Amino acid sequence: MRKVNIGLVGCGTVGSGVVQGLARNGALMGSRLGVELSLGGVAVRNAGKARAARVAKRLITTDWEALVRDPKIDVVMELMGGTTTARKVVAEALKLGKPVITANKALISAHGESIFRQVEKNGGNLYYEAAVAGGIPIIKSLREGLSGNRIQRLYGILNGTCNYILTQMEAEGRDFEDILAEAQRMGYAEAEPSLDVDGFDAQHKAGILASLAHGFWIKPSQIFVEGIRQITTLDIEFARRMGYCIKLLGIVKKLGDNVQIAVHPALVPERHVLANVSGVYNAILVRGDIVGDTLHYGQGAGADATASAVLSDLADAALDLKNGSMGRVPPFVPHEEKGSVLPMDKAVSPFYLRLSVIDRPGTLAKIAAVLGEAKIGICSVMQPEGHVGESVPLIMMLHDAPDAAMQKALKRIARLSAVKAKPTMIRVENFD
Ligand code: NAP
Ligand code: HSE
């Protein structure tokens, strides 16, 4: 039976999950695939560190280069994170023609185009199912299962940490920082949690999915991003009173020849299926021109969910090695859908606006005048009772307007003397 030796670079949350998953189901996978899967070596930064997974001492090294170059290693798993050394690990393995499996969305987002060019040139293959939406097989679904479709819309809850924080804020009214620390302890958050809460991780994932869906490479700089730091329990409560919940969404829309792509918090109607995706779960709604709407749901972060995706890539890599084939649907080949990305200024949506204002006659009229001049219609206004003090909350739901017009009006509203704090604006998504 063909033996497939795995070289694991990184044995933290995800790497340990993979080692545990292999110990549990490696033999079953091997018999399904007709190969023998074996852990050939594990490179880490600190060899003496205690790990969640049991790894034989003789397999551990701090020399990733020697591990990757070892002729006995057939497949390299890059599970260390970051974009500097990780890039070298991937480049070195691909140079040697070895298949590489990575969970590193930051790396693919930053260097995917050149990495895929290297794959084309040198052979080998790059597998990255675990890079997007944890255990959900969304890469495979887009690349293979939905390959007969033109993708018209893709809406994703793509960051488990943010969804966990927003869900806990809604359920328990707890403090943001407190919940983030909990998400870190559970292994959901990135080593640098700003990647999560400022939306960059979801930006990386949305870019990878959009590039796959539309066949041309979309750079992170082309993707509008806004995180969840400004969302308060007040916003969550007011949104709920109006029949919405707040989610961090990755949104990809095909509009004519262009693609509109953004990551930002959005008010989602409570009755919509994405409103019910809670905690660390992710979900992606993909609308194809033939299939219609499809929903892909599962845990988006954590050791086991991510390990499951890595193991599915391992199955593909092992079969490729066994059969001597690399014949998958190619990831980013420019084709007839070559297009361009629309700037966020041109995105049109309804808006939620929360202001902190002095409660005196004429305040509302001044705000309405600014919105009127910007041609932004007011749908409803709420000034909840029971708030005392110098300033009170004023919540407005606004009709569809271009983002640029809204941003301009916001600046003017923020300068009004009756407006006492930086306004909070959240876009509303109606999934049309
Ligand atoms: P982690 O817990 O911080 O683990 C990183 C591992 O890499 C550690 O074992 C570390 O060694 C090792 N490492 C760092 N620098 C190294 C070097 N120069 N040479 C050898 N080993 C090195 O990170 P993680 O959460 O597992 O995430 C790993 C990757 O998976 C990241 O790209 C992340 O974005 C991605 N990802 C994570 C999740 C998740 O839920 N956590 C989900 C999907 C994707 P030591 O243990 O000795 O420090
Ligand atoms: N930090 C990421 C998240 C890990 O919370 O979604 C999974 O990619």
**pLDDT tens for each residue of 80-92:** 999 999 999 999 9
Q: Is 130 in the pocket of ligand 1 (CB under 6 A)?
A: yes
Residue 241 lies in a domain: yes
For residue 124, give the CATH number of its domain.
3.40.50.720
Q: In this predicted structure, what is the pLDDT of residue 331?
A: 61
Q: In this predicted structure, what is the pLDDT of residue 355?
A: 97
Closest residue to atom 4 of ligand 1, CA basis: 12
Q: Is 126 in the pocket of ligand 1 (CB under 6 A)?
A: no
Same domain? For 14 and 125 the reply is yes
For residue 195, give the CATH number of its domain.
3.30.360.10
Q: In this predicted structure, what is the pLDDT of residue 116?
A: 87
Q: How confident is the prediction along the chain (432 residues), in pLDDT tens digits per residue?
A: 999 999 999 999 999 999 999 999 999 999 999 999 999 999 999 999 999 999 999 999 999 999 999 999 999 999 999 999 999 999 999 999 999 999 999 999 999 988 988 888 877 889 999 999 999 999 999 999 999 999 999 999 999 999 999 999 999 988 899 999 999 999 999 999 999 999 999 999 999 999 999 988 899 999 999 999 999 999 999 999 999 999 999 999 999 989 999 999 999 999 999 999 999 999 999 999 999 999 999 999 999 999 999 999 999 999 999 998 766 656 666 555 567 999 999 999 999 999 999 988 899 999 999 999 999 999 999 988 776 777 899 999 999 999 999 999 999 999 999 999 999 999 999 998
- Compute the residue count for the chain: 432
The model scores a pTM over 0.85: yes
Same domain? For 317 and 254 the reply is no
Q: Going by C-beta distance under 8 Å and a sequence separation of 6 or more, which residues neighbour residue 144?
A: 328, 329
Same domain? For 273 and 155 the reply is yes
Residue 336 lies in a domain: no
Q: Is 10 in the pocket of ligand 1 (CB under 6 A)?
A: yes
Same domain? For 11 and 116 the reply is yes
Residue 333 lies in a domain: no
Ligand that comes closest to the CA of residue 208: 2
Same domain? For 287 and 365 the reply is no
Residue finishing a domain among 239, 266, 300: 300
Ligand 2 atom with least separation from CA of 130: 8
**pLDDT tens for each residue of 128-161:** 999 999 999 999 999 999 999 999 999 999 999 9
Residue 334 lies in a domain: no
Same domain? For 351 and 272 the reply is no
Closest residue to atom 18 of ligand 1, CA basis: 45
Residue 130 lies in a domain: yes
Is-contact 157 274, C-beta < 8 A? yes
For residues 74 and 199, what is the distance between their CA atoms, to the nearest angstrom? 35
Same domain? For 164 and 84 the reply is no
Same domain? For 95 and 172 the reply is no
Quote helix, strand, coil % in the chain, to nearest 5. Answer: 40, 25, 35
Same domain? For 144 and 239 the reply is yes
Residue 266 lies in a domain: yes
Is-contact 350 428, C-beta < 8 A? yes
Selecting among 105, 205, 247, 253, the annotated active-site residue is 205
Ligand 1 atom with least separation from CA of 17: 26
Q: Please say if 88 is a catalytic residue.
A: no
Q: Which domain holds residue 183?
A: 138-300
Residue finishing a domain among 291, 323, 355: 323
Query: What is the total count of domains within the chain?
Result: 3
Q: In this predicted structure, what is the pLDDT of residue 169?
A: 96
Distances 432 to 205, 261, 284 between C-alpha atoms, Å: 22, 15, 15
Closest residue to atom 46 of ligand 1, CA basis: 12
Same domain? For 110 and 34 the reply is yes
Query: Tell me, what amino acid is at 414?
Result: A
Question: Which of 45, 128, 208 gets mutated to test ligand 1 (max ligand atoms within 8 A of its CB)?
Answer: 45
Q: In this predicted structure, what is the pLDDT of residue 328?
A: 62
Closest residue to atom 7 of ligand 2, CA basis: 301
Same domain? For 12 and 123 the reply is yes
For residue 381, give the CATH number of its domain.
3.30.70.260
Same domain? For 366 and 286 the reply is no
